[in-house]
Amino acid sequence: MEKEEIAISPCTGMSPYGLVARAACSDTVNETEYTISICITATSADKEGFKNLIKKYPIIAVNGCENACVDKILGQKDVKTAKTLNIMKLLNEEDLKPSDVARLSEEDEKCVVAVKKKIKELLK
């Protein structure tokens, strides 16, 4: 039996948490089978092709913070996420804090590893 694909949609906010979300999701898609990424900004802009894509696969929303923009944007498109992750909360629990909106430091890479670990747990 073939395993169903699952989509991962990261926060794309201009915050350190958005950068960690994008890096962790990109790495996860590259490191795992049966996963694809969904660009939430293209989804928000109603880019052709994304209307069907967001309804085709279950989606894990990887929100940068408590604002849950990924969930809200998908909700506006009548899509309920299969699972949701708030990486700010996760990293606070892990006593990690990313520092830059555009460049990953050594500490930021630790954040990416922690988020990837959690996403992979959610994929099971």
CATH of domain 6-123: 3.40.50
- pLDDT by residue (tens digit) across 101-112? 999 999 999 999
Q: What is the mean pLDDT of residues 59-63?
A: 98
Strands 35-37 and 83-86: unpaired
Contact present, 70 and 13 (Cβ < 8 Å): no
pLDDT at 11 over 90: yes
One-letter amino acid for residue 120 of the chain: K
The Cα 5–Cα 53 span in angstroms is 11
The Cα 124–Cα 9 span in angstroms is 17
pLDDT band at residue 49, thresholds of 50, 70 and 90? Answer: confident
All structural domains of the chain with their residue ranges: 6-123
Concatenating the DSSP letter of every residue in 22-83 gives: HHHHHHHHHHSSSEEE--HHHHHTT-TTHHHHHHHS-EEEEESSTT-HHHHHHHHTT---SE
For residue 86, which phi and psi values (nearest 5 degrees)?
A: -105, 105
